[in-house]
Amino acid sequence: MTDQTVIPARNYPHYPAIMTPEQLQAMREYARRDPDGFWLQQAARIHWCSRPSIGFSGSFEKDVSISWFADGTLNASVCCIDRHLTDRGDQVALISQREAQGRSESLTYKDLHERVCRLANALTHLGVEKGHRVAICLPMVSEAVVSMLACARIGAVHVVLFGGFSAEGIAERLVDSGAVAVITANMAWRGNKPVPYKQSMDEALRIAGGNSGVHSVLVVRTSEEAVPMLPGRDYDFHDFVDNFEVDFVPVVMRAEEPLFMLYTSGSTGKPKAVVHATGGYMVWAAYTMGMVYTHQPGDVLWCTADVAWITGHTSVVYGPLANGGTTMISDSLPTYPQPGRWFELIDANKVTMLFTAPTAVRAMMAEGDAVVNRHKLDSLRLLGVAGEPISPDAWLWYHDVVGKKRCPVVDTWWQTETAGIVLGPIPGVQSLKPGSATMPLPGVEMVITDPQGKVEQGAAEGALCIARSWPGQARTIWGDHARFCQTYFAMAPGLYFTGDGAKRDEDGYYWITGRMDDVINIAGHRLGTAEVEDALGEDHRIVECAAVGVDHPVKGQALVVFAILRKDAATGLDEAGISRLVVKLIGRYAAPEAVYLVPDLPRTRSGKIVRRLLRKIASGDTNELGDLSALSDQSIVPMLRERVWGQM
C-alpha cells in the first residue's frame, strides 16, 4: 500500500491526552458490546431536561427509521448557554473578528444568553413558532451564531443558506424548506469584493413569489451601505431586536424533534436538505468535538468554516459551546488584506486550536514559509482539517511549519449527513499517518464493502459504509424520505453508504480515495455535477451538457463543462456566457474553470455519456484514455482532444 510516514503519539509529550491507548481500546470494546449503554453514557455530556433511558430505536432496512434517545427532552440553546451561566457566565463564549469593519467583538456566555433571548422574543413576536423553518443567510458575524441559537431556543428549525448561492439557488431553498422568516445582512465583503446579501435575498423572494411563505426579513447592518427595505416585511435587526426582553423560557423539545436542516449536494439534480434531530445531534457535537478537539474551557477554537456548512454548525457553534469553550469566527481571508492575516489573528486572539480546510492549507503553503515564520503561533496546541482529502505533503507542511512539530494534526472525515467527525484521531493517544483520517471514533461501526455491498475484512479497498446508526446521523431528507432511503441505503442493504471510497491499511487506518458518485468538492464545497447539468439544461439554447470535476492545485477540484449548443439558434451564447449562467443559477463558488463548446459528447451505445473519458481529457491526461471500445462513435475522441488540448 502507500508509502507511509508514521508520527508516534509520544512525539507530543506536552499535549494533554484525554486517555491512554488502553482506555481508548476499552471504550471501543464497550461500545461494541453494549452500544446503547455506551451512547446513553455519552449522552451525559450534554444537559437534558429529562435524561433519556432509550438508546437507538429503528432500522436501516426497507423504509429506514432512525431514532435516538426517544424519551429524552432538552433544548439545544440551554446545552450551549444556560448550563454554563453559573460556572463561567463571564467567560468569553464567542469572539467575532469582523474584518470588513476592522472590529473585534467578544461575547461572554451571559452576553450570548441575553442576545439569544432578545432574538427569540423578537422572532416569537413576528409569529415564528416551534417547528417553523427560519432561513439564515449571513456572513461570519456574531448574529449568525445568535440566530441559530435563538431558533433552537424557540424550537424553530434553522436552515442556514450559503451567501455564495445565487438568488435562484436561495429561492429554490426558501420554497423547498417552507421558511417563514429570513435573517440576512445588508451586504458583506469577501476580501475587497462586496457581496450583496440583501439584494440577492430580495431577488430570491421575488423569484419565489407566492410559493414562498416568508413574511419577515431581519437585516443585520454589516456596513454603512444602505439597502432598500420593504415596510411591513423588512426590519433592521438591531433596531428591532434590541428592544425585546432579555429572558426567554426555552421550549422543551423531544430528542427526535428537528434542530436544523441543511442543504447539501448529491448525485441527482435537486439540492436536498438533510434533517438533524435535537438530542442525537447535540450528543454527537459534544462527543466528537470533545474526543478529537478535546475542546474545553480555556481553549479558543477557531474553525474557519462558513457557518452555512456542517462544519460551521458543529465545530463553530454547537460543539464548542456545548463543551463550554470559546469559539472564534471571522470573515477574514488567509491572504487578505495581506498574506499571513490568519496568523496575525491567531497570535492576537491566542487561538489554541485551528481548524480549517485543506484548500486553505494549500493556499497558505503557496505563500511560503517566511510568511508563517513572521508570527509566534505559540498559543496553538492542535491543528485540524476536514472537508476534502489532504495530501501527505500539505499535511506535513501544516504540521511542521504552522504547528512547529509541536501540535498534532487531526485530519477528520465527516459529512453533512454524519453531523460530526466519524473518522479522526484522538490526539496524543493515537499515532498519526499524514494523509489518513485515522480510524472511526469509538461507537462507529465503519466497514468497507466490495461493489456488491459485501463487507470486506482486514486491509481492503472499496465503498465506505457504516453498519450501525450513530446519534448524529441525519434522520431524513426534508420532504422526501424515499430519496433518503434510495441515496444512502440502496447500495448495500442494511448499511449506510457514504458516497466515498476508501482503503483500510494493515493497521486499520482509513485512507479516503474520493467520491464514488458524481459529487465534486471545490475548495471544500460540495457540488453535484448533475446540479450543474440540470440547471444548464433548462436553458433552451443548450441542447445538452456534461459537467465533470478535474484536479486543481489549490481548490482540490474544479468544474469543467462541455456543452452542445443549438445549431439553429443564433444564440450569442459563448463559453463565458455559460460560465456566467452557472454562477447565476447556482452560485459563485460553482464558477467553471473551463467551458468547452462541442458538437457532440462521448456516449456508450445505449446513449449514456462517458464522463470518465471527459474527465481524463479535461485533466490533460494524454497518455491513458482507457478502453474506448464501448463508445458509439470513436471519432469523437480526436475532436475532443483538439478542442481541449488545443486550448491548453
Q: Which residues bind ligand WTA (CB under 6 A)?
A: 264, 309-311, 386-389, 411-416, 437, 498-500, 512, 515, 521, 526
Q: Closest separation between CB of residue 162 and ligand WTA, Å?
A: 11
Which residue lies nearer to ligand WTA by CB, 99 or 517? 517
Q: Closest separation between CB of residue 471 and ligand WTA, Å?
A: 17
Q: Closest separation between CB of residue 357 and ligand WTA, Å?
A: 9
Q: Closest separation between CB of residue 591 and ligand WTA, Å?
A: 18
Which residue lies nearer to ligand WTA by CB, 88 or 276? 276
Residue nearest to ligand WTA (CB): 416
Exposed, middle or buried by CB within 10 Å (0-12, 13-18, 19+), for 316? Answer: buried
Q: Closest separation between CB of residue 100 and ligand WTA, Å?
A: 25
Q: How many CB atoms lie within 10 A of CB 34?
A: 13
CB 385 within 8 A of CB 358: yes
Q: Closest separation between CB of residue 630 and ligand WTA, Å?
A: 27
Q: Find, among 19, 18, 38, 20, the residue nearest to 28 by Cα.
A: 38
DSSP state of 211: G
Q: Closest separation between CB of residue 516 and ligand WTA, Å?
A: 9
Instruction: Evaluate the CA torsion angle 584, 589, 590, 591 in order and state its sign.
Output: positive
Interhelix angle 278-292/35-42, nearest 10 degrees: 80
Element (H, E) at 307: none
Q: Closest separation between CB of residue 270 and ligand WTA, Å?
A: 16
Q: Is cis: bond before 425, omega within 30 of 0?
A: no
CB 116 within 8 A of CB 249: no
CA atoms within 13 A on the CB side of 4: 19
Query: Which residues, 6 or more positions from 190, have their beta carbon under 8 angstroms from its beta carbon?
Result: 331, 333
Q: Closest separation between CB of residue 57 and ligand WTA, Å?
A: 26
Which residue lies nearer to ligand WTA by CB, 186 or 438? 438
Q: Closest separation between CB of residue 443 and ligand WTA, Å?
A: 19
Which residue lies nearer to ligand WTA by CB, 133 or 515? 515
Element (H, E) at 365: helix 358-367
Q: What is the DSSP string of 581-617?
A: HHHHHTBGGG--SEEEE-S---BBTT--B-HHHHHHH
Which residue lies nearer to ligand WTA by CB, 56 or 510? 510
Which residue lies nearer to ligand WTA by CB, 278 or 415? 415
Which residue lies nearer to ligand WTA by CB, 111 or 176? 176
Q: Closest separation between CB of residue 549 and ligand WTA, Å?
A: 11
C-alpha cell of 512? 479516503
C-alpha cell of 621? 491526461
Q: Closest separation between CB of residue 293 and ligand WTA, Å?
A: 14
C-alpha cell of 208? 419565489
Which residue lies nearer to ligand WTA by CB, 72 or 472? 472
If phi > 0 it is left, if psi is from -120 to 50 it is alpha, else beta; for residue 20 that is beta
Amino acid, res. 320: P
Which residue lies nearer to ligand WTA by CB, 158 or 313? 313
Which residue lies nearer to ligand WTA by CB, 240 or 510? 510
Q: Closest separation between CB of residue 608 and ligand WTA, Å?
A: 24
CB 566 within 8 A of CB 542: yes
Q: Closest separation between CB of residue 265 and ligand WTA, Å?
A: 8
Q: What is the DSSP string of 230-292?
A: -TTTEEEHHHHHTTS-S--PPPPEETTSEEEEEEE--SSSS-EEEEEEHHHHHHHHHHHHHHH
Which residue lies nearer to ligand WTA by CB, 279 or 420? 420
Q: Find, among 378, 420, 115, the residue nearest to 259 by Cα.
A: 420
Interhelix angle 611-618/636-645, nearest 10 degrees: 30
Which residue lies nearer to ligand WTA by CB, 155 or 389? 389
Q: Closest separation between CB of residue 422 and ligand WTA, Å?
A: 9
Residue owning grid cell 440583501:
198
C-alpha–C-alpha distance, residues 251 and 266, integer Å: 33
C-alpha–C-alpha distance, residues 313 and 298, integer Å: 21
CB 147 within 8 A of CB 122: no
Q: Closest separation between CB of residue 463 and ligand WTA, Å?
A: 12
Nearest-Å Rg of the Cα atoms of the chain is 24
C-alpha–C-alpha distance, residues 326 and 422, integer Å: 23
Q: How many helices (H) and strands (E) does the chain have?
A: 21, 31
Strand order across the beta sheet in which 234-236 lies: 234-236, 216-220, 179-185, 133-137, 157-160, 258-264, 272-277, 476-477
